[in-house]
Amino acid sequence: MSTGPKDALARAQQRGRHGRQQEDGVLVIRTIAMPADTNPAGDIFGGWLMSQMDLAAGNMAGRVSQGRGATVAVEAMQFLRPVKVGDEVTLYATLRHIGRTSMRIHVDVWARPRFELAAEKVTDADFVFVALDDDGKPREIPQT
Ligand SMILES: CC(C)(COP(=O)(O)OP(=O)(O)OC[C@H]1O[C@@H](n2cnc3c(N)ncnc32)[C@H](O)[C@@H]1OP(=O)(O)O)[C@@H](O)C(=O)NCCC(=O)NCCS
């Protein structure tokens, strides 16, 4: 059975249902927003969410490129609604494109209030990762 980038792309297109809206991509991270992650207004700090998204995209990039990599760009990020302390935060990654050395990975973030059943989408963005060699230079993404 092949495990190349095309298979990774196919796997990444798996769909799951959670709450009343459709969520796309592979579930990569599920965590709970904690008081330490808040901004001065008491809502969850956008920087914390961005770091979770970078971790989620990096997880998929490592799987696809079978080695180390780095974020080279973050595009089209939007924050749709705030995340509150205690929310269950779930990150889904979808592989959108594989280049010679780079991968474009879309990350969707959903939040479910602690005592409710349905999750709502709170943010999404495209992350571009570059596969790196031991010297920190771009390396070709392996075909197998
Ligand atoms: C990642 C890095 C090694 C790439 O070096 P580079 O000289 O830009 O490499 P290249 O020009 O050969 O580009 C490599 C790939 O990235 C893509 N790329 C580079 N900059 C990009 C950008 N701003 N947006 C989208 N793709 C980009 C190129 O198109 C190329 O893709 P391909 O091989 O699939 O066609 C270098 O930019 C770097 O070290 N950046 C810092 C990364 C980092 O530290 N990230 C963490 C931030 S805290």
- pLDDT tens-digit profile of 44-77? 999 999 999 999 999 999 999 999 999 999 998 9
Q: Are the beta carbons of 89 and 34 closer than 8 angstroms?
A: no
Distance of CA 130 to the CA centre of its chain: 15
Strands (E), 41-87: 69-79
**Surface-to-core class of residue 131, CB atoms within 10 Å of its CB (0-12 exposed, 13-18 middle, 19+ buried):** buried
Name the pTM for this structure. 0.88
Measured between alpha carbons, how far is 118 from 64 in angstroms, rounded to an integer? 31
Q: How far is CA 2 from CA 6, 10, 73, 88, in A?
A: 9, 12, 29, 35
The architecture of the domain spanning 5-131 is Roll (3.10)
Q: Are the beta carbons of 13 and 94 closer than 8 angstroms?
A: yes
Domain boundaries, the chain: 5-131
User: Where residue 21 falls among pLDDT bands split at 50, 70, 90?
Assistant: very low
pLDDT digits (tens, 9 = 90+) for 31-53: 999 999 999 999 999 999 999 99
Measured between alpha carbons, how far is 96 from 106 in angstroms, rounded to an integer? 7
130 CA → ligand 1 middle, Å: 6
For residue 9, the one-letter residue type is: L
Q: Are the beta carbons of 91 and 52 closer than 8 angstroms?
A: yes
User: Where residue 11 falls among pLDDT bands split at 50, 70, 90?
Assistant: very low
- Which residues lie with the beta carbon below 6 Å from any ligand 1 atom? 70-73, 99-102, 128, 130, 138
Alpha-carbon radius of gyration of the chain: 16
Phi-psi region at 58: left, alpha or beta (left = phi > 0; alpha = psi -120 to 50): alpha
Q: Which of 72, 100, 126 to mutate to test the pocket of ligand 1 (most atoms within 8 A of CB)?
A: 72
- Candidates 106, 105, 99, 104; CA nearest to 140 is 99
